[in-house]
A and B are shown apart, each in its own frame.
Chain A
């Protein structure tokens, strides 16, 4: 039965891909408008040393120590970026570049030197996750979605990402007007009593949470791509912030679904007998969609030099 096979093997990886993409793409809209997209890149890189250190301390790769280590590393990175910016008096892009590459490199060295052969923790995993392994064996078909016993055996990443996505959506919905005003005109926002700097910090914290949760399931490639590509594509489609956020969600879902299917079936259709990394294909698709929008998006003329 095709339904059962799909639900067992493909539904959960696809769902995880969609949830992770959405959780990153939605805050990505605000990062893009604040010219902070690189912070998503930075955070997803520093997650690696964070989880390695967490593993070395706790000796396990259980979710909570990993999350804690990753969040700690994200916090350290944000503070160090601020410090480099302030004391080195250089612009934030350069400060981020310096910090996240060094921390990522440190993580790679640490990983190489420590004994992680017994656990599934390696550089490949860090880059493109283990999406294909998130199968749902206890599923017997679509009906299992309504079966609590079967649901409880779903890979835990699904539930975690669902909670994180709900948090992201709630944050953006509740603080919508203040976020919009603070992003457009910080001085004005402060003058009318919006805690603009606190909101900016909350946005970065939310970015870190989304990055850490998504990283565990899908690796850093997709996290980096989804913070930037759907939002950047959406910006080329509209001049309205609400519409932009909705478009970014559409592009995130399309990239995840199309990416997963192409990774599984495209090589077969071309006559090769292997599949390619689903996470890698999802990120590639999101980039291709951005490329198409650059050529044909209705608001692309915006990016032409203006007089």
Chain B
């Protein structure tokens, strides 16, 4: 879409067409049946930031991620990646779905899953070269799974499966990483391994956005936070947006006052 067309269509929002902004969401609304799952969410994620999307179960966190990627249809609103619609900048974005969303009994090996991340650069019939396989191995190395390359994926533990998913995303060599619950149900060693990889991505100037469920680690792991419960409650730097008033509003009565008080303690 040219700038002129964009101005003609969305004159009031033209300021938002910012190639430096990895993801800008405007008025995003998604609905399953007649109940909205995400309602009119506006937010922007900053380049080189680590962002947590936080909210109770059913708050629309995963749905928001799927809707910006066009996996579930948007009822209204839109998402611009690096100032462009998703279709024109697909190769700069990597998505890691929830681990539980796939069948881990599928007959493929670990290396095959990582090679899926190179799909867009493979030749006709998806032939893989030595270079592709070396690249996939390097990605497995980064997540500490190099010894498992030939394993069938059904033989992996939950944490190992999550690392393989992360390795597949690394193979995509993207500028924006969208991860849906990358730390759900993983062991402590895997959590450390994943966080260290994500921090490396950030230090390379890439942007990392995670749906995150563990309120206790938001402060230590992330720079920015998006609090949602169908609607956006707050967004911005963790230091200011992740406060007890916003948390109370996000979780309603579901979060006790003592729990919130604990979260306000500086981490470490």
Are A and B co-members of a single complex? yes
By a beta-carbon cutoff of 8 Å, the part of chain A in contact with chain B is: 33, 173-174, 176-178, 180-181, 183-185, 187-188, 190-194, 235, 238-241, 244, 302
Of all A-B residue pairs in the complex, the 6 with the closest CB atoms, nearest first, are: A177-B126, A239-B152, A191-B95, A187-B97, A185-B102, A190-B71
> Contact: A177 with B69, CB < 8 Å?
no
CB-CB nearest in chain B for A243: B107
**Nearest-Cβ distance from residue B178 to partner chain A, whole angstroms:** 8
> What CA separation (Å) do A188 and B172 show in the bound complex?
12
B109 at the interface (CB under 8 A from A): yes
B154 near A: Cβ within 8 Å?
A: yes
| Partner-A contacts on B (CB < 8 A) | 66, 69-71, 87, 90, 93, 95-97, 101-103, 105-109, 112-113, 116, 119-120, 122, 125-126, 152, 154, 168, 172
| Between-chain CB contacts (< 8 Å), 16 pairs | A173-B125, A174-B125, A176-B125, A177-B116, A177-B122, A178-B119, A183-B106, A184-B102, A184-B113, A185-B102, A187-B66, A188-B116, A235-B107, A240-B107, A240-B108, A302-B105
What A residues does B109 contact at CB under 8 A?
239-240
Chain A, residue nearest B180 (CB):
A187
Cα–Cα, bound, A181→B113 (Å) = 8
Given contacts A185-B116, A239-B152, could you give 5 more A-B pairs where the C-beta distance is less than 8 Å?
A176-B125, A190-B70, A191-B69, A192-B172, A193-B90
Contact yes or no, A180 B71, CB < 8 A: no
Contact yes or no, A185 B120, CB < 8 A = no
Among B66, B107, B119, contact of A241 (Cβ-Cβ < 8 Å): B107
Q: A185, B97: Cβ atoms under 8 Å? A: yes
- Given A188-B97, A190-B70, A177:B108 Cβ within 8 A: no
Expressed in whole angstroms, the Cα–Cα distance for A181 and B226 within the complex equals: 31
Question: Whole-angstrom distance between the alpha carbons of A184 and B115 in the complex?
Answer: 13
Determine the chain A residues whose CB is within 8 A of the CB of B112 once the complex forms.
180
